[in-house]
């Protein structure tokens, strides 16, 4: 056990990391940047292992109050029909309340939407939440609140379809490969706020989605830098580790499965309208892998949940990232298993650094007094990248990680079998939604 809550920090990186130039003319290696922006990890000594840190997240509900205004988007890709909700940080909270939305969230008015564009150059954070979560999540608000409270940042949270009281409007739900809504949001932000540098942060499943997106974009990515917290990385490995223990199987997998069942129940009217899913059968499921087997496989054409996990994992995607990227994981995380950490993959990519803490659980990192440690490296890293680093010279001309090996064989870490569906499987969405191929 680490002494009195003092977690050990380790950094995994390429032997030849990129060099980050600073606006004052100096420069330093990217791994040194990460080491300097990650502070000492002193956690609550009473929460002395990953289970206690993780379970405590269910007991603590208070967090900095972040207010939002919501905009609905219609998908601009015919293969991913439907709508999704993006919540934008609101500096001036509305006095009105909307019970149809999460707390502290209202819709933009028509006049506000007409005036939403801006030529300012304030840095903007694009945020992705965890499984079945949303912009209201406690861990998310703890992480981004210090940046927003400084008055120097803007932010928006891309809510996965059906999450944060958004409604699904097609047979397409979301999964760990759901990068299309992020891509459309970033494109819209670039057009609407042409001078704002964009940065990304993801939590848990959102960290997996973000990493997959960055790998798919490669050297063409519009984000300047990104950070991932508690990414489950290799979903098959993390799932196997989760179900290997009694508490993992009967507590964590059950809690996560229940959350997804609740999401399906909340959207049951829409699910009945747009899919052929058996809602009665879904209501009787217990564990997350059962939900993935019944829903993700049916929706996306995977033959098994493990096929989905392998295809949607982000361990290979990390090798195709071509912007400064730091990941933070706790090695005692019972949900994002240390066995799944892409240590060797990170070492192949000079743009990436993996920081591990020996304590913290899954998005816990509770400090003495109730604070959340992960907000500190998030704030430090983002402020450095936005205000001290000169990121323009880092625009890469690389091939996105593709390598040619003996005999002409190619390995492309950003390649996926599902584009958007394996053609040999037929999704179980209703015929009206089968416009993927």
Distance CA 315, CA 149 (A): 34
Contact partners, residue 216, CB within 8 Å, separation at least 6: 179, 183, 317, 320, 414, 416
Predicted local distance difference test score (pLDDT) of residue 409: 57
DSSP 338: G
Helices (H) and strands (E) counted in the chain, each on its own, are: 16, 15
At 103-123, the pLDDT tens digits run 999 999 999 999 999 999 999
Which backbone phi and psi does 246 adopt, to 5 degrees?
-60, -50
Question: What does the domain layout of the chain look like in residue ranges?
Answer: 3-433
Sign of CA dihedral 184, 400, 343, 200: negative
Q: Alpha carbon of 14 to those of 11, 17, 18, 30, 382: distances in Å?
A: 10, 5, 9, 10, 21
Ranges of the chain whose pLDDT falls below 50: 396-400, 404-406, 418-437
By C-alpha distance, which of 317, 291, 293, 287 is closest to 306? 293
Q: Which residues are catalytic?
A: 204, 333, 362
Rounded CA gap, 210 and 59, in Å?
28
**H or E segment to which residue 255 belongs:** helix 253-266
pTM: 0.93
Other CB atoms within a 10 A radius of the CB of residue 177 amount to 23
Fold of 3-433: Rossmann fold (3.40.50)
Q: Given this model, what pLDDT does residue 288 score?
A: 97
Structure confidence by residue, pLDDT tens digits, 240-269:
999 999 999 999 999 999 999 999 999 999
Look at residue 415 in the predicted model and tell me its pLDDT. Answer: 65
| The pLDDT value given to residue 228 | 98
Tokens read off for 197:
């540098």
């Amino acid at each position: 056990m680490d002494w009195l809550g003092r977690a050990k920090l380790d950094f995994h990186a390429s032997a030849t990391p990129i060099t980050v130039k600073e606006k004052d003319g100096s420069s330093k290696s990217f791994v040194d940047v990460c080491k300097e922006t990650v502070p000492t990890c002193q956690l609550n000594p009473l929460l002395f292992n990953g289970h206690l840190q993780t379970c405590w997240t269910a007991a603590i509900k208070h967090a900095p109050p972040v207010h939002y205004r919501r905009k609905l988007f219609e998908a601009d890709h015919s293969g991913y029909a439907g709508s999704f909700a993006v919540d934008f940080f609101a500096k001036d909270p509305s006095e009105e309340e909307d019970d149809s939305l999460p707390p502290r969230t209202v819709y933009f008015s028509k006049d506000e939407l007409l005036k939403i564009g801006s030529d300012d150059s304030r840095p903007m954070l694009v945020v992705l939440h965890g499984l079945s979560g949303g912009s209201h999540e406690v861990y998310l608000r703890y992480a981004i609140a210090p940046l927003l409270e400084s008055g120097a940042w803007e932010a928006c949270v891309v809510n996965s379809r059906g999450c944060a009281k958004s409604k699904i409007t097609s047979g397409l739900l979301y999964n760990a490969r759901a990068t299309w809504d992020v891509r459309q949001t970033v494109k819209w932000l670039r057009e609407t706020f042409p001078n704002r540098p964009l940065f990304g942060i993801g939590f848990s499943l959102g960290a997996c989605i973000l990493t997959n997106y960055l790998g798919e974009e490669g050297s063409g990515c519009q984000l300047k830098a990104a950070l991932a917290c508690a990414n489950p990385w290799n979903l098959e490995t993390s799932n196997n580790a989760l179900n290997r223990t009694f508490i993992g199987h009967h507590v964590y997998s059950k809690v996560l499965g229940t959350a997804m069942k609740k999401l399906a129940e909340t959207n049951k009217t829409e699910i009945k309208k747009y899919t052929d899913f058996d809602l009665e059968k879904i209501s009787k499921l217990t564990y997350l892998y059962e939900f993935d087997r019944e829903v993700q496989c049916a929706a996306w054409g995977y033959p098994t949940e493990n096929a989905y996990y392998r295809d949607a994992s982000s361990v290979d995607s990390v090798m195709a990232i071509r912007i400064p990227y730091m990941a933070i994981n706790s090695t005692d995380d019972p949900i994002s298993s240390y066995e799944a950490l892409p240590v060797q993959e990170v070492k192949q990519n000079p743009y990436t650094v993996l920081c591990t803490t020996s304590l913290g659980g899954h998005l816990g990192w509770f400090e003495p007094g109730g604070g959340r440690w992960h907000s500190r490296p998030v704030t430090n890293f983002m402020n450095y990248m936005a205000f001290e680093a000169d990121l323009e010279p880092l625009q890469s001309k690389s091939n996105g990680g593709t390598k040619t090996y003996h005999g002409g064989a190619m390995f492309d870490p950003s390649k996926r079998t599902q584009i958007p569906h394996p053609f040999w499987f037929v999704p179980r969405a209703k015929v009206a939604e089968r416009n993927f191929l």
